[in-house]
Structure 1
Amino acid sequence: MELQAFLITFREALEALLIVGIITSYLKRVQRPEFNRYVWIGALLAVFASLGLAIVFQVVLDGFASMGAETYMKVSIMFISAALLTQMVFWMAEQSKGMKDKATSKFDQFITTGNVVGMIIHAFLVVLREGVETVFFFAAITGGDIGKAMQGWGAIGGIVVAGAVAYFFFKGTMKVSLSRFFQVSGFFIILIAAGLLVQGIAILQDMHILGSVMPHLYDLTRFLPEHPIDAEHFIRDTGTTPWFSGQVGIFFKALFGYSSSPSVEEVMVYWMYFASLWLLLRNRADKKQAAAAKPSPSDAHTAK
């Protein structure tokens, strides 16, 4: 869970810091640094609003728990989070092209009209979007205990590393390109999304909402139990110790969606997700290459 929280906060905080950094750098370049404080005011207000949202969301989750509908809420959050994380991957595939133009286009109007309120609101909404997504993802990876994710080293570490990356990026000392960072983090985001998707399927099967043609396709508990409790049960039933600790299983479950005894549907959904994502990304890349290779009207006229 800590690694998941780290990757999520790193990704969300990095995007927010990059956009805020682009805006403040732009204001400095056009010799209007006096507006920077309004950008940071909007960003700080969004941070406090995100914390408030986390509290409200936790109250809502607790309300569902008191009504006996907590599991349905958790499954819904898992599926929605998997969809949002997948959307992140497509954004990362763009390698942040156009980020600078999108971030600064509105500020030209704000500077011209001196619209301070507009600057604050724009910065507020940019950062709040990342905060909302973070709260939602934390609810998914912790099963509804948002505070648990916020108190661990993962959330704090993700913010610290994102801040360091953004700082060195704008100082011009970053050796690795920003697009490479998004590619690497995108790979781990895919793993988290696939894991949430499969965990949601498993919960629905445990609730007998979904059936299974083969409830246990294989059993790797002897090799790697997915939880210390599974390891204890295995030792109790067989008198032998698994090859690896259940703590290792927890790590792989959090990162890869590992299950020591999955149903055939879980395995199929897991690998179909990767195959579908690969096909969609490849199709998008092929379309871009085709568009780039297509001569523009002006080039065609010159050739004639």
Structure 2
Amino acid sequence: MLANLLIGLREGLEAALVVSILVAFLVRTDRRAVLPKVWLGVAIAVTVSVAVTVALGLAEQQLTFTAQEALGGSLSIVAVGFVTWMIFWMRRVGRTISRELEGRLESAVAMGSTAVVVMAALAVGREGLETALFFYTAAQAAGETTQPLIGFLIGIAIAVALAYLIYRGALRINLGKFFTVTGVLLIFVAAGILAYGVHDLQEAAILPGLTTLAFDVSAAVPPDSWYGTLLKGIFNFSPQTTVLEAIVWVAYVAIVLSLFLRSARTPVGSPS
């Protein structure tokens, strides 16, 4: 639940901030008549994202065990790639995202209503599709049915509330620090999902080393204990970890975290 709450909060706030930027620009330039087109685009993006998540779940149920493991492992790796790119993308464009979105919306308004709907759908849809894929793989890694969804929805709700308060001027937070802290936490979550994806590919016999363990701490960290569940839920920690899983986890954290912290030394202003 905690890992998916973080995913919902971080990714949901990014999407909500995009929406608030678009809405604020139209209100500020006295174009409220265009707002329904923006909301229609947002609704389309949300619908598509939910449909993708449901479709992935339904498709997986029709597959054999080996095919399920192959699909799950592949999607996990793809999801980690998307999230890693978005973490660095947000740091790079944090200062200019408002100006870029407003420029795109200005051009879309000049082109007509359909262009506004498409522009809003694409702006939010990119966040939505990435979130859907990352949530799906994180939920699969957690091995639960309702807890990941509950955590994710709570995170989304908090993100929407924060974005609304920021939009109304009732709350001011340092978004640069927020995205830095959540970025670091997401890197560890992503590392766990990446390791889980590798394990799935080992289960599918696509990658070797399924029986070659780096360590087995099942006696010290029982999977059904509260701390074992906590480690599994947040970091996807497995008491029985293969050598390849351990190598991938350590390599990802070492490389991505060091690059992210290096880039974080340059302050990033809030996207306003």
What is the TM-score with the length of structure 2 in the denominator?
A: 0.85
Out of 167, 170, 188, the position equivalent to 1:170 is: 167
Contact 1:38-1:119 within 8 A present in 2 as well: yes
Equivalent position to 2:234, from 255, 266, 269? 255
Cα deviation per residue 1:30-87 (whole Å; 9 max; x = unaligned)?
1212211211121122222323333333332223x24851111011011111111211
Residue of structure 2 in register with 1:122 after alignment: 119
Q: Distance in 2 between matches of 1:249 and 1:159?
A: 26
State the partner residue of 2:270. none
Question: 2:248 aligned with 1:269, yes or no?
Answer: yes
Q: Does 1:189 align with 2:168?
A: no
* Shift of residue 186, structure 1, vs aligned partner: 0.9
Alpha carbons 1:215, 1:263 under 8 Å: kept? yes
Tell me, yes or no, if the aligned pair for 1:6 and 1:158 is still in contact at 8 Å. yes
2:88 alignment partner in structure 1: 90
The structure 1 residue matched to 2:98, chosen from 94, 97, 100, is 100
Give how far 1:282 is off.
Answer: 5.8
Residue 27 to residue 145, structure 1, CA distance change in 2 (3 Å): same
In the alignment, the residues of structure 1 paired with residue 30 and residue 96 of structure 2 have an alpha-carbon distance, to the nearest angstrom, of 22
Between Structure 1 and Structure 2, whose CA radius of gyration is higher? 1
Q: How many residues align?
A: 267
User: Compared with structure 1, are the counterparts of its residues 120 and 182 closer, same or farther at alpha carbon in structure 2 (3 Å cutoff)?
Assistant: same
Say if 2:74 and 2:201, in contact at 8 Å, map to a contact too: no
Contact 2:141 2:236 in 1 (8 A): no
Instruction: Decide which of 125, 130, 134 is 1:137's aligned counterpart.
Output: 134
* C-alpha deviation, 1:25, in angstroms: 0.7
Q: Secondary structure at the match of 2:213?
A: coil
- What is the aligned-residue identity percentage? 28
Structure 1 Cα separation of the partners of residues 197 and 180 of structure 2? 26
Once structures 1 and 2 are overlaid, which stretch shifts more, 90-99 or 115-124? Answer: 90-99
- CA 1:99–1:256: 2 relative to 1, 3 Å: same
- For residue 212 of structure 2, the aligned residue among 208, 211, 215 is 215
Cα deviation 1:162-183 (Å, max 9, x = unaligned): 0111012122233421112111
Aligned counterpart, 1:28: 27
Give the match for residue 70 of structure 1. 68
CA contact (8 A) 2:69 2:201 kept: no
Q: In the alignment, residue 157 of structure 1 is paired with which amino acid?
A: I
Mapping 1:41-56, distance limit 5 Å: 41-56=40-55
Distance 2:195 2:56 in 1: 24
Greater relative contact order (Cα < 8 A, sep 6+): 2
Moved more, 52-61 or 122-131: 52-61
The Cα of 1:214 is off from its aligned counterpart by: 8.6
Cα gap change, 1:93/1:164 in structure 2, threshold over 3 Å: closer, same or farther?
same
Q: Which runs of 5+ in 2 are unaligned?
A: 268-272
CA 255–146 in structure 1, closer or farther in 2 if over 3 Å, else same? closer
Matched, 1:58 2:37: no
The one-character-per-residue Cα deviations of 1:77-122 (angstroms, maximum 9, x if unpaired) are 1111111121122123336221101111022223345x11111111
1:3-30 per-residue CA deviation (whole Å, 9 max, x = no partner) reads 2222222222212211111111111111
Residue number in structure 2 paired with 1:293: none
Per-residue CA deviations over 1:151-210 (Å, capped at 9, x if unaligned) read 832122011100111012122233421112111211221111100111222333445543
Give the Cα–Cα distance (whole angstroms) in 1 for the partners of residues 143 and 51 of structure 2. Answer: 12
- Work out which of the residue numbers 246, 257, 260 in structure 2 matches 1:278: 257
RMSD: 2.9
Judge conservation of contact 1:92–1:186 (CA < 8 Å) in 2.
no
Indicate the larger mover: 166-175 or 186-195. Answer: 166-175
Amino acid at match of 1:23: L
Give the structure-1-normalised TM-score.
0.77
Call closer, same or farther: CA 1:172–1:79 in 2, change over 3 Å: same
SS across alignment from 1:159: helix
Alpha-carbon distance between aligned partners in 2 of 1:8 and 1:199, rounded to the nearest angstrom: 17
What SS does the aligned partner of 2:140 have?
A: coil
